A and B are shown apart, each in its own frame.
Chain A
Amino acid sequence: MSARRRKRGRGARAPRAVSPSGAAPQPRSPHGARGGSARRRWLVAAATVAALATLAWWVVRPRPTPSLPHPEVSTEAAAESARVAIEVQDWGRALVWVDLLAAREPRNVMRLLGLGLALHNYAWSGGRYARERSAMRTSLERIRLEQRALELMDSAATLAATDEQWARIRHWRGQTYENIGLPVDALDDYAVVLERVPGYAMSVPRQLWVVHHLRDPLADGSQP
């Protein structure tokens, strides 16, 4: 959904380069006898200008705001609902609200990150806390959600406006890899975060934990 909106946005800007005022003036004919032909040329030019003007108006015309999902729910209320759902680890509900927020603000990097994390939580942790069955029926469905989650995080990182935003996104990408059980992939993310934002508070302890366990996998006890 967010991708479709971005595409529509790009399409709206591009035609502005076409301007009727840029059309070259047509030369007048010195000969009255050939006035018919000149008139025809004038008419063609006028029609062309009118068509271009119409096209320009069509492109830049004011349009109603596209309908948002659940318009009755304010963004603030949706954010609060997402926060509560995350707090009680109801990942299914969290996904619903975070998805709504990301759909409303598709270029908001924190919304994209939130959606990625919600997908990741839903994939591994199920619909609600202590549910007997996993949220996904098969690992194939689960892995697809993880792949989508990581894609969203990559998009968010690309759009990040500040180093802090970028670091936060890449940190959570690393955390996602860590949860999947790929410690070296996680470490790669923590390392680039700390390279760009030295001392980034969230990544320092995670990097230490992963490095420590790569050197000593049995640390903290690992046998049942």
Chain B
Amino acid sequence: MSLLRRCIPLAARMLSAAGAAPLVFLLTGCGPGRPADVPPGEVALHPEHYAHSIAALGFPGARRAYQVGHGSVVGTGETALEWGLVAPRGPVQISPVYFERDGVPVAHWSMTTPGQRVSFEAAAAPCARLGDTSLVVSVRVTAECTGNAPVEVALDARVRSLPDGPHVVPWDAPERWAFQEYWQGRAAYRDGRLVAALDDAASIKSDAPSRSRPAHTDGTGPGALVARCGVRLAPGERRSWDFWMPLYPTRVGARALAADAAHERVAAGARRWWRRILTRAAALETPDTLVNTAWRAALVTLVQCHERDRGRWVPIGSPFQYRDVWLRDGARAVRALAVAGLLDLARDDALTLAEYQMPGGALISQRGQLDGTGQALWAFEQASSLGADAALARALLPVAKRALVWIVHQRQVTAALHSPFPELLPFGDPRDGELVRAQLVGNDAWAIAGCEAVASLARRAGDLLLADRAAREAAAYRVSFSAALAQVRHSDIPPSWQRVGRDWGNTSVAYPTRALSLEDPRLSALAHRMFARAGETGLTCYGPPDSLHTYNGADLAQWAMIAGRPAEARSWLDGVLAHSSSTLGQAEIFSRGDGGFGANLPPHATAAATLVDLLRNMVVSDLRDTLDVGLGASVTWWQGTTLARAPTRFGVITVRLDRPAPDRLRVRLDPCAVPLRVRVPDGLRVTATVTPGTRVLAAEWIEAPPRTGEVVFAVEETR
């Protein structure tokens, strides 16, 4: 019995016992089924906005991801397969990497030269024989004669360690780049382990390294393992070759893996699995197809950024360089997965974050990052409230209670010591984006959100005494926060109370932490300062004006939308989409000048998480005690937008926005037990309400009573 098959029942039993039965299907890999039953995908051609085109082929549970690109190369961080045309008739153009329109991460790219095109399709999926932390990638290479005359196609496939362009070496890669390598049949071996396998039709030179006569290769570039695929093609004719590569070098033989690694099987398995996940998640359809694809791409990034530890899912920061947990990123992932309806993952992630509690009560993942306690508590609450999960609240309450005690004690000590900013958290030295050791404003904002989260969790768990205590602590903390803001005498909101550092956690004081009132004028000043510095990009700078950051402005965009300035939120959204990769992944930081991201490869999970959160809130928001609809929707979105199966604090709902007549806007949704507020899009104004019981609140708002299933109102252009 294979390792994976043996593991699945055990893991399934564990998860089932933990009340996480829906997770079981995530453990079952791509499952059985005939490849012919899975329709192929349509390639989604989006422009590449970065200097290098790189995509991640990963899978939850795997400990690495395949890096596709830059160029015609697929790598594991330890082994790479690179393809090149031999003696091309002219310059070779290599396209960016693309995924499929339905969001499935099956990679497509091409190499084109006069008279011929070579297309690549790469898919990654678990393989039972390789265990549950590895994968296999299969690449189908198809050459086509595109000219009017026959063409000789010669394609070299080389085994190397690392690609030439930007790349990441995984933590568990070897420390020395020296190998004994050889061919065994069409399989490439390094140090006795299988690293890649080629199509049977590939030709290998007779004097190529063999098992009895291996070659010694030093360094990370190409070694001695080269094979050629050659064919003469008539106009319009095609020929394909298949290649595959395990994520980790393996001692399992090529013959044993060949059937599982067959391209039809891997590609169909990947498509089936990812379509299933995306079908289960909340679906967003707007008139803007780029937005729709970006929603799905972000979900794919979030799902593939998961490893497993002791039977639980673990949210990691990226498929490549951030294969680790930061509470500041993990909390965002929990929120995004929860609003996107992937509640089983969100719940499990929240339970994983609880493991970060120190004996004193703090939750900390990285040295000096004191915001972790508030973020973890906030994430607990998100998973519990959006999933209407009282059992989760009860399970997490002991952790939350200890964390609350820790927060209270920290504030008491800074007060007792007559710190210049008393009753706040002490200094932190997070060695991250803040770039400073100081009392960080963001730490306090998150701690306030944490106290509120404890109150909410306690209410849901039935501990009303704790709920009352946590609410009082949050209220007192807000008073201290406001006093510090008054004391600091800053034109907006500084990164730290000592007024030093880079803008980071201070962007979160309104959304999502609600530490500061949404109406506070400092927020407007902060947003203006940060967005203006990045000019027309819609994003924010990080450090020098040439460095743009994708997600650092997301919370201010959310605040702007909630505060009635949706154009600023849409501007940030446009900025993110205009600075995404061709697979709609986002780098964390990149150069405004040349689009370079150095070794900080896309996609980044927090950028994906903030994108999902914003898009969801643009259609439906449950931040207040009303259900707010269409907060960020433009007039175009009112041509027909649907958010289906969306969890809210008031239940799982489907919301539809449309314009049944030029002078009519309509909202249809599953009724909720709370009042409804509908935001009239910029550019239109209400002339009358049509649905009985609804009323115009202000020029931009329609209010409807609880249990309303449809709101229709008349509008006219304002310009």
Contact = CB atoms under 8 A, between A and B. Distances in A.
A222 B430 CA distance: 11
B359 A184 contact: no
Nearest to B437: A222
Interface string B403-436: 0000001100110011110000011111000011
B324 A218 contact: no
Interface in B309-341: 309, 314, 316, 323-326
B323 A138 contact: yes
Contacts of B368: 180-181
B358 A181 contact: no
A138 B438 contact: no
Contacts of A138: 307, 309, 314, 316, 323-325
A146 B427 CA distance: 21
Given A138-B323, A218-B500, A223 B367 contact: no
Interface in A169-193: 177, 179-185, 187-188
B172 interface: yes
Nearest to B427: A217
Contact of A182 (B358, B417, B418): B358
B309 A140 contact: yes
A139 B171 contact: no
Interface stretch (A33-41, A43-51, A90-98, A207-215): A207-215
Contact of A183 (B323, B426, B430, B498): B426
Interface in A79-133: 124, 133
A150 B359 contact: yes
Nearest to A131: B175
**B-side interface size class:** 35 or more
B454 interface: no
A213 B413 CA distance: 13
A182 B362 contact: yes
A115 B285 CA distance: 57
Nearest to B498: A218
A4 interface: no
A147 B172 CA distance: 24
Contact of B367 (A154, A180, A185, A222): A180
A71 interface: no
A184 B365 contact: no
A34 to B, nearest CB: 62
A130 B277 CA distance: 42
A184 B411 CA distance: 10
A137 interface: yes
B504 to A, nearest CB: 14
B235 interface: no
A32 interface: no
A217 B359 contact: no
A103 to B, nearest CB: 23
A144 B355 CA distance: 8
A143 interface: yes
A29 to B, nearest CB: 61
A71 B498 CA distance: 57
Contacts of A224: 435-436
A214 B410 CA distance: 11
Given A140-B314, A185-B362, A215 B420 contact: yes
B651 interface: no
A116 B499 CA distance: 38
A183 B417 contact: no
B417 A215 contact: yes
Contacts of A144: 355
Given A180-B364, A215-B417, A215-B418, A222 B438 contact: yes
Nearest to A218: B498
Nearest to B411: A184
Contacts of A185: 358, 360, 362
B65 interface: no
B439 interface: yes
A146 B358 contact: yes
Contacts of B382: none
B414 A214 contact: yes
A124 B419 CA distance: 29
Contacts of A150: 358-359
A184 B324 contact: no
B142 interface: no
Contact of A181 (B410, B429, B496): B429
A217 to B, nearest CB: 3
A214 B359 CA distance: 21
A147 to B, nearest CB: 7
Nearest to B63: A137
Contacts of A143: 355-356, 358, 364-365
Contact of A214 (B355, B367, B369, B426): B426
Contacts of A177: 358, 360
B360 A217 contact: no
Contacts of B436: 222-224
A179 B514 CA distance: 31
B44 interface: no
B605 to A, nearest CB: 14
A214 B417 CA distance: 8
Nearest to A154: B359
B250 interface: no
A133 B77 CA distance: 14
A124 B366 CA distance: 10
A188 B438 CA distance: 20
Nearest to A150: B359
A147 B361 CA distance: 11
A140 B307 CA distance: 11
By CB atoms of chain B within 10 A, which of A124, A213, A218 has the most? A218
B407 to A, nearest CB: 11
B367 A179 contact: yes
Given A138-B314, A179-B367, A213 B427 contact: yes
Contacts of A188: 360
Nearest 6 pairs between A and B by C-beta?
A: A181-B368, A217-B427, A222-B437, A139-B365, A185-B360, A181-B367
9 contacts: A140-B309, A180-B367, A181-B370, A184-B409, A187-B413, A214-B414, A217-B427, A217-B496, A218-B437
Interface of A: 124, 133-134, 137-140, 143-144, 146-147, 150-151, 154, 177, 179-185, 187-188, 211, 213-218, 222-224
Given A139-B325, A222-B438, 9 more contacts: A124-B367, A177-B360, A181-B428, A182-B370, A184-B410, A184-B414, A213-B427, A215-B419, A217-B426
